[in-house]
Structure 1
Amino acid sequence: MTVSRTSSDAPFPVGGPERAPDATPPTVLIVDDEPDQLQLLSTYFQRAGCLVVPAIDAEHALNLPPGTRPELMVLDLRLPGIDGWELTERLRTLYPGCPIAITSVLDAADYPAAESVMPKPVTARDVRTLLRAAFPGRVR
């Protein structure tokens, strides 16, 4: 799904059984090698009521603290070292069923390994649209 900047009710396919809405803040892994972009995305997701796990590169994303389990992963495609495409595949193995949203200046709309695409520059509205679709009733 590409996040539409005009609609907030697009489907968000997630692997596994449906969960009842609850008040637990979703845990979101955000991976971006640009510190300003990582901070901006983290702020958007935190303001929407999420617990954010920031990672400046793929290595950090692949070595999260014990017990950390993201419920959504937001990845840039252009990363140093292990790029976003390879990182997507590795994270799918580590966290099966966890949806992935791609953020990129690249044309990632047809990238099959992601459930969502948010073209850069990402706005707070894009983040809220994504979260409402992914976590009905769990975010502001």
Structure 2
Amino acid sequence: MTLRPKIALYEPDIPQNTAAIIRTCACLGADLEIIEPCGFLFSDKRFKRVVMDYMDEKLIKFYQNSKEFFKSKEGQRIILLTTKSAESYAKFKFESNDTLLFGRESAGVPENVHNSIKYKLKIPMMTNKRSLNIASSVAIILSENLRQTNFTK
């Protein structure tokens, strides 16, 4: 079994962002995990316009809720990407089987989820800027994970 990085989206809100992340995962060889509920339907025309023919459900695992997701991850590393971290992703040692968790575009993850995760990283940004688009953030972090772990298809 090949170890692949996993991108996990916590209750995503915006169909275009999720579609762009699906394309990124498909092109770079990462698995995608979606923690429901989503704030949109996968039949949404905005989703379909961006995802195009990259929607491969074999590479996507759906969890009905966060409890199911965290139960499946017992003993595995979960890294939360958050603007509320002091640690830069650039100084972190990624592993090939990490799960890289991204919160909702509108609200991040709930405080109890944030507090339950050991590894929390941020993407350093210019002062007084709130956050990057989640699809851009996924691309940055996934690329660094792949670079460090020498992942090849």
In the superposition, the TM-score normalised over structure 1's length comes to: 0.48
In the superposition, the TM-score normalised over structure 2's length comes to: 0.45
Name whichever structure is richer in helix by fraction: 2
- Higher Cα radius of gyration: 2
